[in-house]
Structure 1
Amino acid sequence: MSLAVERQLLIPVEPAAFVPQPLAGTVHALAGQTMGTTWSVRFCGPARCDLASIEAVLQAELGLVVAQMSHWQPDSLLCRFNHAAAGSWHVLPEPFWQVLSTGLALARLSDGAFDPTLGALIDLWGFGPPGPRAAPPSEAEVDAARARSGWQHLQLELATHRAQQPGGLALDFSGIAKGYAVDRLALALARLGYPSHLIEVGGELRGFGIKPDGQPWWVELEAPHGIALAPAMVALHGLSVATSGDYHRGFQHAGRYYAHTLDPKTGAPLLEAPAAVTVLHRECMLADAWATALTVLPPATAIALADQQRLAARVVGRDGTVTQSVAWMEMLA
Structure 2
Amino acid sequence: MPDRAVLIPLDLDPAAPPPGSAVHTFDGATMGTTWSARVAAGAVAGLHGALQAELDAIVAQMSHWDPDSLLSRYNRAPAGTWVDLPAQFFDVMDYALSAREASGGACDPALGALVGLWGFGPARRYDHAGFYAPDAAAIARAQAQRAAARVELDRTRRRLSQPGGAVLDLSCVAKGYAVDRLALCLESRGLRHYVVEVGGELRGGGVKPDGQPWWVEIEAVPDGAAPQAVVALHGLSVATSGDYRQYFTQDRRRVSHTLDPRTGRPIANGVASVTVLAPTCMAADALSTALTVLGPVDGLAFAARHALAARFLVRRAGELDEIHTPAWKALLQ
Match of 1:266 in 2: 263
Amino acid at match of 1:109: A
Q: TM-score, normalised by structure 2?
A: 0.94
Q: TM-score, normalised by structure 1?
A: 0.94
**Structure 1 stretches lacking a partner, 5+ long:** none
> Is 1:77 aligned to 2:70, yes or no?
yes
CA displacement at 1:154 relative to structure 2: 1.4
CA displacement at 1:23 relative to structure 2: 5.4
CA displacement at 1:151 relative to structure 2: 9.9
Match of 1:108 in 2: 101
**Kept after mapping to 1: 8 A contact 2:25/2:38:** yes
**Where do residues 225-304 of structure 1 align in structure 2 (5 Å cutoff)?**
225-304=222-301
Match of 1:123 in 2: 116
**Where do residues 1-333 of structure 1 align in structure 2 (5 Å cutoff)?**
6-15=3-12, 17=13, 19-22=15-18, 24-46=20-42, 48-50=43-45, 53-133=46-126, 134-150=131-147, 153-318=150-315, 319-333=319-333
Q: CA RMSD in A?
A: 1.6
CA displacement at 1:255 relative to structure 2: 2.4
**Kept after mapping to 2: 8 A contact 1:115/1:150:** no
SS in 1 for 2:15: coil
Question: Could you give the per-residue CA deviations for residues 279-331 of structure 1, whole angstroms, max 9, x where no partner exists?
Answer: 00010000000000000012121111111111101101123111111110100
- 1:150–1:299 CA distance, 2 compared to 1 (3 A): farther
Distance 2:330 2:123 in 1: 44
**Kept after mapping to 1: 8 A contact 2:17/2:40:** no
Distance 2:29 2:289 in 1: 23
Amino acid at match of 1:38: T
**Kept after mapping to 2: 8 A contact 1:38/1:201:** yes
CA displacement at 1:205 relative to structure 2: 0.3
Query: How high is the sequence identity, in percent, across the aligned residues?
Result: 49
CA displacement at 1:18 relative to structure 2: 5.9
CA displacement at 1:193 relative to structure 2: 2.8
CA displacement at 1:87 relative to structure 2: 1.5
How many pairs are equivalent?
325
| Bigger shift: residues 240-249 or 150-159 | 150-159
- Structure 1 stretches of 4+ with a deviation exceeding 4 A read none
Amino acid at match of 1:42: R
CA displacement at 1:258 relative to structure 2: 1.2
